[in-house]
Chains A and B, each alone.
Chain A
Amino acid sequence: MTSPLKPPEGDWWSQPVNRRESIWLGLGAIWSVILFGWMSVWTTAGEQNPIGETYRIEAEAFREKMSAYKDAATETDEGLVPPGTDVYIQAMRFYWDGAPVVLEAGTEYDIHLNSMDVQHGFSLRPEDALSKQINLQVLPGYEWVVPMTFDEPGTYHIICNEFCGEGHRTMHGTIVVTEGS
């Protein structure tokens, strides 16, 4: 019986499989292993991974860290220059607090992401290369520390890409990356 509408009779398990179908299954299995393997290997060998430490934190506690960070940072025309390699960015309706921030190319920074209120989307790209864009989810109640090292100087633009209310489309910020020393 080979109708999908009728029950197959007897021993259908032992029906031989067409040779080309078997070859296809082999190719499919190899491709599946490649998909899994490449993704796994990249977490240790690759330069781009959405991986960083997560901590639970109340909104107020993050505000305090933000305050301390801003006090220790240097205000310039282009933006905040962080005191060390920790960069704090807090999303809120409808503003990226901590931006604009001025960083140096070639230095590894720890970007601390948190939301003060609802979920937001941290969407970042250099202004002269819109296809180089990445997107990370920003949650209230969590501090996500994602290391980043910018290789190209320029102005990078932050847009919010998680719906957060009527002013969602106005949430814009910048990260200015200067030539590395």
Chain B
Amino acid sequence: MAHRYDVLGLFDNEYDDEGFRTCSVTGLRIHHTVENHVKLFGLTAVVALLVGGIFAFTVATTRWEAIGLLGPDAFYTHLSMHAWNLLIFWMVFMEVAILYVGGPMVLGRRLPWTKVATAGWLTMVAGAVAVNYTIWTTSTPNEAPLLTAYVPMPVSPWFYAAACLFIVGTVIAALPFFVAMWREKREYPGKTLPLVAFAAFVTSIIAVEALVGGLVAFAPAMLWRLEIIEWVDAAWYRQMYWIVGHGTQQINLVAMITVWYFLTHVVAGAEVVSEKVSRTAFILYLFFINLGAAHHLLSDPAVSTGWRIWNTSYAFYGATFASLIHAFAIPAGIEAGRRKRGKGGGLFGWLTSAPWGNPVFSSTIFSIILFGFLGGITGVMMGQLQLNMTWHNTFATVGHFHATVVLGTTVAFMGLLFFLIRTMFRRQWLSTRLAAVQPYLYAGAMGVAVLMMMYVGILYGVPRRTVEVVSNIQGTEFDLAAASPLFAIFGIFALLAIAAGVLFILLAVGSLLFGKRIDDGTNVSDLVADGGLAMAEDPDDPVHAYEMRGTFVLCLVFLAAFVITYLLNWYLLTQLWSIGA
């Protein structure tokens, strides 16, 4: 039943008379309206990944001043292209797809308001293309916007307009998700949503906050650049901008965790060890996670100390506590689920026996570990009012967010795409061996690059957003050349990571174009958790009765890393001279 606009046989799965098919891997009952839209948004996301990835090459080879590819005239434009295509377009197109999966697909519903979904997609694409165009054609007197387009830097008003268009498109695309959830709750008032659907809902509300914040920041900025209003206050703009600036990253976080629960269950047999505890964590996120936008305003004038401390802490570290919950619940789910399936054995047998050769599994696990140890811990460091002074606007900040959105979210989304290529696009991976190895290469290389970014930022004070500052600072003998050796390591491993990213694109696109078609009889045993998914529904074999001691040890190691990093950061701070009232 090929879709009217089917291209390359990518939208032509077979459905029954009611428009449904049953997935042989997850057992989900999937309607073609949902599936075709998930595919549409997913494919668009990969295009954005490719474009943003090209600019990763030019940006990395410029910041590695031994190459110093671009000059000040071009660098900031390339940096803006890299940022918008990866941090925003790659992420947000995937996240609309994830909302459709987490909501209507998991619930076995059709996608309501399909014309609205398509209109949303068209608007988002128009916005994304317009943003790319306005950035790429930046010329005097305008400056490249970077991600933040900080008022009162002169940025093209059409950039702000394009960004607003993209945001409005995203809101439109999210509406069918909300309608599906509304109908589900109305039809089954006493029923609890599946955990993944509940998580998707929390993601959507966090997204609403972020998107509205974006409009509140960008629309007045556009009006000011068009000289319709006289002035936009810089401090007010920063406070509003970071609602979308950091809010979009929080969408990335919660969407990623939703994907973690989904994929660890399907490919590794994980189960929910406590619905109550996991849902509490998502509710803490719902209320508190977007307060963290204040992290960007800690070394700022204007906002009060009280506001900064309260908001940066996500209300007494409520959202950090939520992350600590998931840090236990997700591996515990894998451990208990696998012990139940007879895959345990000793402290870590459940982990060593897991399908490490399956890129869906390895991507997910690397995402969990690296997000936690590198991304999450450094986020809390930077989010401490005083430590922020040593991180703010340094290259360490760039290291932090590459740890979260690349090692965390992007690696998880790559795993999800490997999964969708098999289950929705129903193609074999072009090369099972290369697919198996790609997550190791990408996560490993990017991990080293990220560590180098953090070291040069914290230990050498190398700034972010600067085309040349290590080997030479114009007008002075002073330089940061002491950081050059670490920059060499950064440069090499960034290039290796980009190569692994290219490998992903080749595997993804290659599989879609040339991969062998999967029919209903094909063996899917490498994707489905040993013992099948039905074991998760046996009420007489509850998962919480199984051992979680391996997870407990891993979490204690994580907490130790957290504490040690905290002590080191605070020690560095106390070496400074006296600052502040």
Contact = CB atoms under 8 A, between A and B. Distances in A.
A68 interface: no
Interface in B447-502: 458-461, 463-469, 473-476, 478, 480, 482-483
A3 B261 CA distance: 9
Contacts of A130: 459-461, 480, 482-483
A148 interface: yes
Nearest to B552: A20
A123 B476 CA distance: 16
A130 to B, nearest CB: 5
B152 A140 contact: yes
A50 B386 contact: yes
B72 A169 contact: yes
A165 B478 contact: no
B317 interface: yes
B150 A21 contact: no
B442 interface: no
A141 B559 CA distance: 43
B385 A49 contact: yes
B392 A136 contact: yes
Contact of A152 (B276, B321, B386, B577): B577
Interface stretch (A5-13, A71-79, A84-92): A5-13
A162 B27 CA distance: 51
Contacts of A160: 463, 466
Contacts of B474: 169-170, 172
B389 interface: yes
Given A25-B277, A125-B461, A5 B385 contact: no
A117 to B, nearest CB: 7
A9 B374 CA distance: 37
A48 B192 contact: no
A147 B465 CA distance: 27
A38 B305 CA distance: 14
B301 A139 contact: yes
Interface in B380-396: 380, 384-386, 388-394
A46 B277 CA distance: 36
B394 A36 contact: no
A133 B461 contact: yes
A7 B321 CA distance: 25
A135 B299 contact: yes
B386 A135 contact: no
B35 interface: no
B319 to A, nearest CB: 10
Given A5-B196, A18-B273, A27-B559, A136 B313 contact: no
Contact of B320 (A32, A149, A151, A168): A32
A108 interface: yes
A50 B578 CA distance: 10
Contact of B579 (A35, A50, A118, A127): A50
A86 to B, nearest CB: 14
B465 A23 contact: no
B551 A4 contact: no
Contact of B275 (A12, A42, A162): A12
Given A142-B235, A162-B393, A2 B460 contact: no
B324 interface: yes
B539 A146 contact: no
Contacts of B113: none
A137 B321 CA distance: 29
Nearest to A147: B581
Nearest to A1: B537
B235 A1 contact: no
Given A134-B576, A169-B474, A170-B475, 5 more contacts: A4-B194, A18-B336, A32-B317, A147-B580, A150-B577
Q: Which 3 A-B pairs have the closest CB atoms?
A: A133-B461, A161-B463, A49-B580
14 contacts: A3-B537, A17-B274, A21-B273, A21-B277, A24-B555, A43-B309, A47-B574, A139-B235, A139-B302, A142-B301, A159-B469, A161-B393, A166-B72, A168-B465
Interface of B: 26-28, 72-73, 76, 106, 143-144, 146, 150, 152-153, 191-196, 233-235, 238, 261-262, 265, 270-277, 298-302, 305, 309, 313, 316-318, 320-321, 324-325, 328-329, 332, 336, 380, 384-386, 388-394, 458-461, 463-469, 473-476, 478, 480, 482-483, 533, 536-537, 539, 542-544, 548-549, 551-552, 555, 559, 562-563, 566, 570, 572-581
